[in-house]
Structure formats: C-alpha cells, structure tokens
Amino acid sequence: MKWLPETFRSRLALAIGVLALGVGLPFYLYVTHVYGQQLVREREQALHELAEAVASVVSLNLEERLREIGQVARLSPELAGARAEEAGAATLDALQAAYPVYAWIGATDAQGVVKVATGGLLVGRSVAQRPWFAAGLNGPYLGDRHRADLLQSLLAPGASEPLYFIDVAVPLRAPDGSVSGVLSAHLHWRWAANVVGAIVPRKSARQQIDVFLVDQAGHISYPDRALGADRVPDGLVSEVPQVLDSWPEGGEYLSVAVPVPEAGPASPLGWRVVVRQPLTAALGDLVDLQRAVLGVTLLASLVFLLLTWWGARIISRPLEVLTGLALRVERGEEDVVLDAGARSAEVRALSTALKGMAATLIARRQALERSNHELEDKVAERTAELARSNAELERLARHDPLTGLPNRRACDERLALEFERMRRTGVAYVVLVLDVDHFKLVNDSHGHAAGDAVLRHVADVLRRQLRSTDFVGRSGGEEFLVLLPQTPPDEALRVAQKLRHAVDISCPPAADHVTLSIGLSEAQPEHNSSDGAVRAADHQLYRAKQNGRNRVESSFMR
C-alpha cells in the first residue's frame, strides 16, 4: 500500500498508535453511550428510591399522629366525661408540650361545642360545621392541608403569611360505648418540613434535587408556597422516572412521582411525592468522565507513539547493520562477514536463559506439588472445622444465647411436632405462656445486665422444676413457652402454680423481686394449627396481667 510508510520503524510506530486509539476510542464511546445510559438509570433509580422513602416516612408519620390522637382518646376517659374541662386540659397541654407540632388540640361534645382545648382556645365555641367534626363522629379522620383563619387569628394575630394545618380527629366514647364527642388536633404545616427534611439527604441541595409534596389536584403544598400557586406538570403521574421539559423553570428534568400510602383509609388524601433533578446535574459526572477519558486516550496515544519510535530504533538496529554489511558486499568487499555482532551471542544467551528457565520451572513445579499437598491437608482440616462450626451454628440457630433455652424457632418446631402428634393420637397437650412481671422496670432500675441475670435465673428455675418430657423455651423478650405433653388440665394447673411459686421464692440478687404471670390453654383437635393453643394461652396471660400479675389464668380454671 503506497500510503503506508516505507521504514519498519515508522510502520511499527503507526501500528502501535492506531492500536492505542483502537483501545481508547471504544472505551470513550462506551462511556458516552453505555455508561451514560447506565448512569441515567442509576439516577432514575436513586430519585425513585428517594421518592419512595419520603412517601413512606410521610405516611408513617401521619399514621403515628392518627394513632397518637386515638390512643389519647382511648386512654383519657375524662375527656368524654362531665368534668372534661378540669381533668382533660392537663392531658392535652402535656401532649402539645411533648409534640410542639400540634398547633391546637381540643375535645368537643356530641353537638360540636369545644369543651376543653390547649391554651383554652375555642373553648365554648361551636365547631359543628367543621369537616373534621362531622367526620370524626363516625371514625378516625385525617384531613388535607387547609387554612384556618380563626385559629390563626388566635395563635398568630397579625401574621403576614397564612398558616396551614392538617386535621386529625377521632371519636370520643362514653363508658357505654356511645359517641360523646370528638377529639381533634391541628398539625402545623411545618410538620411537613420536619418530616421531609429528616429523610432527604444533605447532599440533595448540592445535586440540585428538589422534593415536593403534591396534593390530589396537582398543587405543590411543600415546600411552603401559596396553595394552588404552583403545580407540577400535568403529565407527571407515573412512578416510572421520565425526562420532562414542561416545568415552569424551563430545561429538562429527570422527574418521578410516587403516591403517598394512605394513612387513613376512611379519608384518602391522594398525596404524591415528586422528586426532580436537572438532567445536566444528573449527567455532570458523565461529562467530566468523558473529558478525562478523551484526554487520557490522546495522551496515551502520544506516549505510545514516542516510546514505539524509540523502541523500534533499537529493534531495527541489527537489521540496519546487516543491510550495511550487505551493501558492502554489493560494492565488492569480499572480506565482509555477514554478522550483525549479536546473532551468536543472542543464541548463546537464549540457550543459557532457556536452561535457567527450565531449571526454574522444574523447581517451581516441585514447590507447587508440595504446596498442593499442604493445601489439601489444610483443606481437609478446614473442612473438618467447617463441619464442627456448622454443627455449632445449627445448635445456636435453635437456642437462645442468653438463657441456653430453645429459641422461638425451636419453640415453633416443637409446637408443630406436638400438634401433629395430637392429631394422630388424639392425646392433648397443655401450653403455658409465661411472662416476667414488670421486666422493663428491672431493666430501668438495675440495668440490662440485671435484666439478663433475671432471665437466666427464670430459665434455670423452669429447667429444674419441669420433667424431662416437658419442653421449655424462650419465645421472645421476657416471655417463655412451656409444653406439657400428655398432661391433664388439673395437673398442668398445679405445675403452673409450682413454677410461679418457685420463681417467686427464689429471687436472684440482681433484682428486688421477680414474679411470673402465666396463661394456660389445652390444645384441641379442632384447632386449625399449632398456633391455636398458643393464642388461647396468650389471651389467658393477658387476663393474668389485667387481674394483678403474679398469678395463673386458664380457660379451664374454676
């Protein structure tokens, strides 16, 4: 080919240069296209995960607020009584002090007149026309963001910016179960900033990532903007990330919308979390990488060319010497020896190198064989150790490390075994569920080390008191499970009293006094699974707790 250089040196340099470009340019194209698409997918996935995390946290926080107000309504019967104004104010003020996000908490009677409220606000006024009151009479209610001008005039008179709230309401019930009013709380909208700000990473601002809370109509309600003043693009309804150029600010954005799981099914909000990032910011790393790869490729090609030119000169030197000697012969010089001065030396050196290489390879092969034998011995030793470790892990997987008793997994397996045996033989067994009374008080008063000592003590007492055919395990926390196979109910009741008495009189030094509450139940063939007797025993344990603790309750006690 006429366009190729004629000298060996030039051709070798050109070949190496083309090779360097051939390696670098495909990598540059990979970074530009394949890695670029991968980076976009990763950014999309990151935005989607962030949106899901924010939506989940918002939903969970709303559920917590709804559950919190419901708990106050259930645990504060004075709010439904005639003396609510006196007894309930302290409860509501304490709740607001603990959670300043509540701007107002109040309880009404069945006609919608506020009987008691934090700060005494709206007391004596009728709120019967408020949506939260009508909905709260029928069940738990969670309202969308809204303005409350009357409440704002009392909380922040003269404020230049409107305040927004979320309503949470639950019914108040009298002792006879009838609805006697509504307990409601107004969440200040700064709640959204607290919740979203806690989950959004700090680097989001640096990466130009925006997070919005959007209502059912598509209006942006967070960050704090006038309700209805800003909207997300109408096409943004899918959880699949997409590139949108219809944002008011202009430019292309990676955008994703994720629905917020409804916290109150009776009053769906239809909120969505929208996360966006400018496409230029999302692909900023790609641009930097493209420049770096292109620069390194060009620099490497240049360096390869220079090194190849220098190396080709050394490689081609014997050929040039031989060419010169051949030209001398052509001119008629007869005493020229066609020897480049390197061939025989190279052959001798190569022969010596090959001999040395052979000797080295033989030595390395012998060393490798010795290493293989040693490795086989180590593998056999490690295999035996692994078998022992697996056996120990199998034991630990079914035993509680603190008490040494079978754990929840082993309890479930034994329950299933006893249940199947009962179904085959028709011989029932008795389930005891035992719980250490006031165990949290032991931990709080004496420390977790004392709590651990109490659990070990109870486990030792149970082991000593039970028969070899009985089963005892730690089913979780301070709760233990005892199975009494082929034991009549009266005998099982006697065993339960014996266990309770044994723990009561043998208090360990780590705590002042330790007692047990015990629930008993006899497994029945009509139970659908082994959980039936456990659930019944749990119910009896709950009765024992309610009836004063340190006692035994059973469905067959008289």
> What is the distance between the alpha carbons of residues 382 and 373, in angstroms, rounded to a whole number?
14
What pLDDT shows up at residue 353? 38
What pLDDT digit, counting tens, does each position of 492-502 carry?
999 999 999 99
Contacts 24+ apart (CB under 8 A), 56-62: 56/261, 57/195, 57/196, 57/198, 57/199, 58/192, 58/195, 58/196, 58/213, 58/260, 58/271, 58/273, 59/260, 59/261, 59/262, 59/263, 60/263, 61/191, 61/195, 62/142, 62/166, 62/263, 62/264
For residue 170, CA distances in Å to 64, 83, 125, 136 come to 13, 19, 19, 5
Label residues 450-480 b or e (16+ Cβ within 10 Å = b).
bbebbbbbbbbbbeebbeeebbbbbbeebbb
Q: State residue 467 phi and psi, 5-degree precision.
A: -75, 165
Q: 């693009």: which residue's tokens?
A: 233
The segments of the chain whose pLDDT lies below 50 read 226-229, 343-362, 558
Number of Cβ within 10 Å of residue 328's Cβ equals 14
Q: Assign residue 122 a region (left: φ > 0; alpha: ψ between -120 and 50; beta: otherwise).
A: left
Q: How many Cα neighbours within 13 Å face the side chain of 48?
A: 12
What pLDDT shows up at residue 545? 93
Q: 């670029």: which residue's tokens?
A: 36
- Class of CATH domain 64-192: alpha beta
Q: State residue 129 phi and psi, 5-degree precision.
A: -85, -5
Q: Is the dihedral of CA 365, 371, 374, 379 positive or negative?
A: negative
What pLDDT shows up at residue 191? 87
What pLDDT shows up at residue 21? 64
What pLDDT shows up at residue 5? 61
Q: 């493209």: which residue's tokens?
A: 290
What pLDDT shows up at residue 39? 74
What pLDDT shows up at residue 385? 78
What pLDDT shows up at residue 359? 40
How far is Cα of residue 224 from the mean position of the Cα atoms in its chain?
Answer: 29
C-beta separation of 91 from 116 below 8 A: no
DSSP secondary structure letters along 405-420: SB-HHHHHHHHHHHHH
pTM passes above 0.85? no
> What is the distance between the alpha carbons of residues 470 and 535, in angstroms, rounded to a whole number?
20
> What is the distance between the alpha carbons of residues 520 and 543, in angstroms, rounded to a whole number?
11
For domain 408-554, the CATH superfamily is: Reverse transcriptase/Diguanylate cyclase domain (3.30.70.270)
What pLDDT digit, counting tens, does each position of 265-316 carry?
667 888 999 998 888 877 766 666 666 666 766 776 677 667 766 666 665 6
Token pair belonging to 536: 């019944």
What pLDDT shows up at residue 500? 93
Q: Is residue 171 within a helix (H) or strand (E), and if so which, with residue range? A: strand 164-173
Q: Per-domain residue ranges for the chain?
A: 64-192, 299-341, 343-397, 408-554
Which pairing describes strands 479-485 and 471-476: parallel, antiparallel, or unpaired?
A: antiparallel
